[in-house]
């Protein structure tokens, strides 16, 4: 299910708080990971890299707390390259345009922490309304390298 944050900002903020609460309760040292120089995404990646939580499990935490479903990888069709967007932006932010047209774009993402930033950038510079689908980081990274 696609997540839109433009009309449901307070719901989105509550979801982010719930993610923090859920991960903090499962991993007592989670707060220590989220030092000023690390983002929530960085802290979550450390949990995955250490094998404390799987990509699928962290994705389920995100989608459960935000009340959306993860993207069904069985329905995944590799998107076309979108020349409007620099590959450096996609790689740095681990996101990928999936579908677009008529002033809208659906973007694949692996974490919720940069969604407001993406929404701002694409609204401001491309006048696009954005929606988001959550997918595992490894799938997203491989797809970005294949498409771009």
Q: What is the pLDDT of residues 97-146, one digit of tens each?
A: 999 999 999 999 999 999 999 999 999 999 999 999 999 999 999 999 99
Mean pLDDT over 62-83 rounds to: 94
Q: What is the pLDDT of residues 6-59, one digit of tens each?
A: 656 677 889 999 999 999 999 998 988 877 788 899 999 999 999 999 999 999
> Exposure pattern of 95-106 as b/e (b: 16+ CB <10 Å)?
bbbbbbeeeebb
pLDDT of residue 8: 61
pLDDT of residue 43: 94
User: What global pTM score does this model have?
Assistant: 0.90
pLDDT of residue 3: 83
Which is higher by pLDDT, 75 or 84? 75
SS3 106: strand
The values of phi and psi at residue 98, to 5°, are: -105, -55
CA atoms within 13 A on the CB side of 63: 20
CB 109 within 8 A of CB 132: yes
Q: Which residue has the tokens 């609460």?
A: 21
């Amino acid at each position: 299910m696609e997540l839109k944050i433009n009309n449901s900002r307070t719901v989105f903020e509550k979801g982010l708080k719930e993610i923090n609460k859920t991960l903090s309760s499962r991993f007592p040292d989670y707060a220590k990971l989220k030092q000023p120089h690390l983002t929530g995404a960085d802290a979550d990646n450390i949990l995955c890299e250490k094998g404390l939580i799987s990509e699928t499990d962290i994705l389920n935490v995100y989608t459960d707390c935000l009340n959306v479903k993860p993207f069904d990888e069985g329905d995944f069709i590799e998107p076309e390259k979108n020349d409007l967007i620099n590959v450096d932006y996609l790689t740095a932010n681990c996101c990928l345009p999936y579908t677009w047209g008529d002033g809208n774009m659906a973007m694949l993402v692996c974490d919720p922490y940069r969604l407001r930033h993406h929404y701002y950038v694409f609204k401001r510079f491309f006048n696009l309304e954005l929606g988001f689908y959550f997918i595992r980081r490894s799938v997203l990274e491989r797809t970005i390298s294949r498409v771009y």
